[in-house]
């Protein structure tokens, strides 16, 4: 679909569409092809691995900070998410599990209070949507991932920042293995 069609569909000007596409290109989400238009950029496996390596550092920081900063109510929310994730895996619902996975990571980032890390992670995560969804649908992946997520929750609840960071890094290391496999 071209800029004219998009502008008509969304009731905006062609210049507005062009500006949005330039913005999305700057974020690495869209690639503009000369004389052909724009398309969603495909992230290679190696790019997904490199992005996940960056996430490992930033999400590890967020988990460590959440272990110290989270309120009792926030810890209870993480526990509830862990129970819901366990149920989704037991019920064979990978799409629900994937949604809960995303929610867990978002809550940990939020509870960390580290705005800069959160903003960087949101930009990185936007590029990985396709890969994350594909991983959730691989046989056996939700079961393995669940154990890793429960370990992250447990270490945050124990208010052990070092263990929380280590658990997140182990989980994302497993994601990298899955991406390459």
**Cα 169 to the chain's mean position, in Å?**
14
User: What is the tens place of the pLDDT at every residue in 35-48?
Assistant: 777 777 677 889 88
Over range 102-107, report the average pLDDT. Answer: 96
| Distance from C-alpha of 78 to C-alpha of 96, rounded to nearest angstrom | 16
Q: Domain of residue 31: give its range.
A: 3-40
Inter-residue contact 27 to 125 (CB < 8 Å) = no
Inter-residue contact 146 to 86 (CB < 8 Å) = yes
User: What is the tens place of the pLDDT at every residue in 124-155?
Assistant: 888 776 555 577 778 889 999 999 999 999 99
| pLDDT value for 30 | 64
| Distance from C-alpha of 9 to C-alpha of 44, rounded to nearest angstrom | 30
| pLDDT value for 131 | 58
pLDDT at 161 over 70: yes
For residue 168, what pLDDT band results from cuts at 50, 70 and 90? Answer: very high
Could you tell me if 170 and 104 lie in one domain?
yes
Could you tell me if 90 and 67 lie in one domain?
yes
| pLDDT value for 41 | 67
Over range 110-136, report the average pLDDT. Answer: 83
| Distance from C-alpha of 59 to C-alpha of 132, rounded to nearest angstrom | 16
Nearest Cα to Cα of residue 170 among 46, 52, 48? 52
Q: How many domains does the chain have?
A: 2
The model's pTM: 0.79
Could you tell me if 51 and 34 lie in one domain?
no
| pLDDT value for 2 | 75
Could you tell me if 34 and 64 lie in one domain?
no
Could you tell me if 23 and 93 lie in one domain?
no
Nearest Cα to Cα of residue 99 among 64, 142, 56? 142
């Amino acid at each position: 679909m071209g800029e004219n069609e998009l502008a008509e569909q969304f009731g905006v000007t062609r210049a507005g569409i062009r500006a949005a596409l330039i913005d999305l290109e700057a974020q690495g989400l869209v690639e503009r092809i000369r004389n052909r238009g724009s398309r969603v950029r495909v992230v290679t496996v190696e790019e997904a691995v490199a992005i996940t390596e960056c996430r490992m550092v930033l999400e590890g920081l967020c988990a460590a900070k959440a272990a110290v900063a989270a309120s009792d109510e926030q810890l209870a929310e993480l526990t509830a998410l862990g129970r819901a994730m366990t149920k989704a895996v037991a019920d064979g619902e990978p799409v629900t599990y994937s949604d809960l996975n995303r929610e867990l990571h978002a809550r940990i980032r939020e509870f960390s209070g580290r705005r800069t890390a959160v903003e960087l992670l949101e930009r990185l995560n936007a590029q990985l949507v396709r890969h994350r969804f594909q991983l959730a649908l691989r046989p056996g992946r939700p079961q393995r991932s669940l154990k890793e997520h429960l370990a992250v929750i447990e270490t945050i609840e124990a208010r052990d920042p070092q263990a929380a960071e280590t658990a997140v890094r182990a989980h994302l290391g497993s994601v990298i293995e899955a991406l390459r496999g």
